[in-house]
Amino acid sequence: MGQRHEMRNGSRHTMKIPRSLRPLVEDGMVDTVLRQLQSGKEATVYVVSCGDDIRCAKVYKNADHRSFQKVADYSEGRKTRGSRDARAKGRRSSHGRKVQEAEWKNAETEALYRLVGAEVRVPMPYGVQDGVLLMELVQDEDGNPAPRMNEVAMTREQALEWHAFMMRQIVRMLCADVIHGDLSEYNVLLSADGPVIIDLPQAVSATGNNHALRLLARDVNNMRATFSRAAPELLETEYARELWYLYESGDLNPETVLTGRYDRTEARADVDAVLDHIEQARLEAEEDRKLAQEEEWGD
């Protein structure tokens, strides 16, 4: 299964090396491929051994195999190296599409390194090669791959504790000029040491993306919706409004403790209107997600 106790016992199962991972094996970055951990619309993740360490290898799927919507919203503000590449992207030429694809695959690695430096709980990255991101395998207290937050039953006390932790992580991320952009219970793992944020290829710059407010508010409100199922009092909080107000006013720092309260008289009315619209869109998207999941299970 590619777990730590297998390493201690000296036994491990291997699988045929996927074509996408052969360059890493040939270069000595990966010794063996133990198993496939998961496969989604954007990437396939494998458990691999690297010397005495067990890690993850995330293989990104090409654009024609991905279904991520409104990629332009996320790639806005990302810097392109070289004027030729920038022009090619603008013309949407074949070369431009390749440049955009490479930027998409490198974005998660760059975000992870930045967030590790900001002391945000994300998997430790070990580099990207040929469209494959090598990173830490997040594990639970038994040494198994950590479950996603949506797979975990929680008490009210745990919900309040984990929600407060996630708000602190979002504060640190914003101070590092990073917004996850797709944060939900499906993109948070519960490790032996608490929640870990994953899946960041769509991460955006808070200062360089015109959709930053909408994406940040959706992330924050998704966390509220997740943890309020066990702690309904969280439904009365307004962390998104408070967080953005502090950020815009220059009063946010990595140690800021949010209250979940917000004085509407202190901010512009148009910001309130935008956030109300975002919350409605989030609720509709959540309903669409549930229906799609039900259809998938029915298949």
Whether the Cβ atoms of residue 146 and residue 123 lie closer than 8 Å to each other: no
DSSP secondary structure code for residue 31 in this structure: S
User: Catalytic residue at 85?
Assistant: no
C-alpha angle 111-194-205 in degrees, rounded to nearest 5 = 20
Q: Which residue in 182, 193, 219, 270 is the catalytic one?
A: 182
Q: Which residue in 53, 64, 73, 199 is the catalytic one?
A: 199
Whether the Cβ atoms of residue 112 and residue 118 lie closer than 8 Å to each other: no
For residue 269, which amino acid is it? A
SS3 57: strand
Query: Distance between CA atoms of 219 and 169, rounded to whole angstroms?
Result: 12
Token digits of residue 260: 């979940």
Token digits of residue 236: 């009365």
Number of Cβ within a 10 Å radius of residue 284: 10
User: Catalytic residue at 199?
Assistant: yes
The residues that are catalytic are 182, 199
